[in-house]
Amino acid sequence: MCPHCNVKLKVQKTKRRKGIFLDFGRIWFQQRHKYCGLCGSVFDSEYLNALIPECANFGFDIIELVGRELFIKNRTESEITTLLEKRNVEISPSEVTFLGKKFILYLAQAHKEKEPEIKNLINLRGGYFVHLDSTCDGDSPHLFCAVEELLKLVLVSRKIPSESCEAITPILQDLKKKYGTPTGIVCDMSKGIISAVEEVFPEIRIFICHFHWLRDIGKDLLKEDDSFLGSVLRDFEVKPTLSKFSREFRGLIRNYPILSVSFKACVDDFFKQKLPEEIIAHLLIEWIQDYTSELNGYGFPFDRSNVSLVDRMIKAYEHLKKLNIQSGHLMRIKQFLEGILSSEDLQECLRDLKRRMQYFDHLREIMRIAQLHGVEGLNDDGKDADMPLMKKELTAFAAREDIKKAAQTDRCVRKMLKQIDKYKDRLFTTGVEVTDANGVKIRIFPERTNNLLERTFRDEKRGHRKRTGYKSMSKILKTMLAETPYVKNLGNADYLKIILNGKITLAERFAEIDSAKVRDALKKHNEKLERLDPKVKQVIKVEGMLQSLIEMVSNFSGDEVKSGLEMVG
């Protein structure tokens, strides 16, 4: 019966349609289209529409499975193809990629439809902090995300040409329209992000990520000298020579089995032996090359690999000087180290670098993050700390007489003091007072770092490397859907409940979404990629293509070449 006119529907047409499902494999339907004789409305099979999207062959159940396998388990297209073959579903890797994009677009549409409920969820405490950041690789566009702090929900994800104020402002205006004004913003020192926030949210506070701030100061202090130190090490071919020594001594131990017998003893008894010179030289070189074990996984400027290498070379040389050696492998190592460490350029650079390192490492202690012997690496969020005390210590550090004196002649120290003065009021907070959903006043505090977003981006990169084997993200950032980070939200039970809208599976939820909107979104995405028409590719690869073009032009018999519009006219 027609739901509008309450008259019996008539059959308009019947057609045969293919469908592919996890439970059935490939099957065929007889699909009837019915219409109302009064209002003209046309109706399809509700049962079939709940199983498979319009104008598609693969069911919603396969779309959900492919999406979860691709973006949550990070399986490759070939692995998913094999997985589906075991369930009698024939599918190519390119079709898996296509269904992965449909999964993202259906999820994005479900997210869009439920934005009011998501807004209520994140505002239960009376306000929310949002973290802003973007990532790119090479000449790729920037993937810009806004993530809510407490529930770790990606609220907005867009691709922008650059991290400029002009590109970010419309995104923040959209965020404000959909989710309201945040309690505060956490970001790095990006001028584009800060300018856009000040324009869209002039009344809220901006909090600077402590890790990013420290890293920026460290680069100002240490980058110039560290780069020079690296160039000196390259001029002396330090790493290639150490590797050459290493290969040589390993070969000696392999070629002379009697030498390797020395390693059979337990560690406690090993150094009680009278070791051959080859083994001593081998261990010394390997110890120098193991300088990376001193690094803590924070990256430069927290980890200074060049300084760690030189320090080990200095320690090895100081011990070799104590030995009465005139020849042999140890003498060769000693002469090699002596030639490098006697460089006045290296020694002067090392002195300046270590002096500035003391300033930087003191700042690390003040900020209670990425400290010298930390083990958390890039996941270091900073422990709960007394913010007023940290601010007091930072102010006292900047007021030190020795630092003020150094700033008079040291440009790098002046830049450090400038950064401290510029951002000190955005580094520390005593919290923001809000009223929660129950009318109770509470004080909430933002996280000290922007690692929430950094981890999201790192997860995306790891997943990409696992699926493709490629380290570079440039190509994937150009072709991926901007809404892909929404997949991370599925790990939040409250979010998933909202998105499902009373359904049990995402497949059932996707069946409620207008598939025409998904097709339009996919079409717009493909148009933005600006890919070359496959037929054009085919033509330009024809042998003698250039000559054929010239002959085509000459056939106009002297007439000017006409434009396409003129020919249509």
Could you read off the pLDDT of 297-352 as tens digits, one per residue? 889 999 999 999 999 999 999 999 988 888 889 999 999 999 999 999 999 999 99
* Total of domains in the chain: 4
Please indicate, yes or no, whether residues 243 and 334 belong to a single structural domain of this protein: yes
Handedness of CA 395, 397, 400, 404 (dihedral sign): negative
Torsion-angle region of residue 230: left (phi > 0), alpha (psi -120 to 50) or beta?
alpha
In this prediction, residue 432 carries a pLDDT of 84
Please indicate, yes or no, whether residues 77 and 126 belong to a single structural domain of this protein: no
Please indicate, yes or no, whether residues 161 and 99 belong to a single structural domain of this protein: no
Query: Kind of pairing, strands 25-35 and 153-160?
Result: unpaired
In this prediction, residue 258 carries a pLDDT of 67
Residue with tokens 């003391």: 358
Is 402 inside a domain boundary? no
Is 56 inside a domain boundary? yes
pLDDT tens-digit map of 509-563:
999 999 999 999 998 888 777 666 677 778 888 888 888 888 777 776 555 556 5
| Domain encompassing residue 51 | 10-105
Please indicate, yes or no, whether residues 71 and 163 belong to a single structural domain of this protein: no
Is 349 inside a domain boundary? no
Please indicate, yes or no, whether residues 136 and 51 belong to a single structural domain of this protein: no
Confidence of residue 478 (pLDDT cuts 50, 70, 90): confident
Alpha-carbon distance 444 to 376, whole Å? 25
Is 245 inside a domain boundary? yes
Please indicate, yes or no, whether residues 306 and 247 belong to a single structural domain of this protein: yes
Domain boundary among 283, 314, 342: 342
Please indicate, yes or no, whether residues 248 and 330 belong to a single structural domain of this protein: yes
Is 166 inside a domain boundary? yes
Domain boundary among 63, 84, 105: 105
Question: In the chain, pLDDT over 70 holds for what percent of residues?
Answer: 93
Is 416 inside a domain boundary? no
Domain boundary among 53, 74, 105: 105
pLDDT tens-digit map of 411-434:
999 999 999 999 998 999 888 888
- 3-class DSSP state of 256: coil
Alpha-carbon distance 35 to 15, whole Å? 15
Is 488 inside a domain boundary? yes
Residue 513, CA distances (Å) to 108, 194, 499 in order: 11, 37, 12
Asked whether residue 252 carries a pLDDT value surpassing 60, the answer given is yes
Is 98 inside a domain boundary? yes
Please indicate, yes or no, whether residues 246 and 334 belong to a single structural domain of this protein: yes
Please indicate, yes or no, whether residues 96 and 126 belong to a single structural domain of this protein: no
Please indicate, yes or no, whether residues 203 and 273 belong to a single structural domain of this protein: no
Please indicate, yes or no, whether residues 89 and 140 belong to a single structural domain of this protein: no
